Amino acid sequence: LLVRNIYNGQEFVRYDSDVGEHRAVTELGRQIAEYLNSQKDFMERRRAEVDTVCRHNYGVFE
């Protein structure tokens, strides 16, 4: 799962399920990534999206 946060045409934060956390792409995204990663409930839901969406569809395309 790859979630890209874009503002004004520029990506500033991304979540990659292979990494398991949000990563800043720009300086603007640093504080946002730190904040999102500190939110335990939000991160649990984000990780659950992988099981809900990705793993189910993974077998479809094999």
**Residue corresponding to tokens 């939110």:** 39
Residue-wise pLDDT for 11-45, tens only, equals: 999 999 889 999 999 999 999 999 999 999 999 99
CATH number where 13 lies: 3.10.320.10
Q: What is the dihedral of CA 24, 25, 26, 29, to 10 degrees?
A: -30
- Give the number of domains in the chain: 1
The Cα 29–Cα 60 span in angstroms is 34
The pTM score is 0.78
Neighbours of 13 (CB within 10 A): 24
* pLDDT at residue 61 tops 60: no
Domain extent for 19: 2-61
Residue with tokens 């990494």: 19
* Residues 32-60, mean pLDDT to the nearest whole number: 84
CA 20 – CA 38 distance, rounded (Å): 13
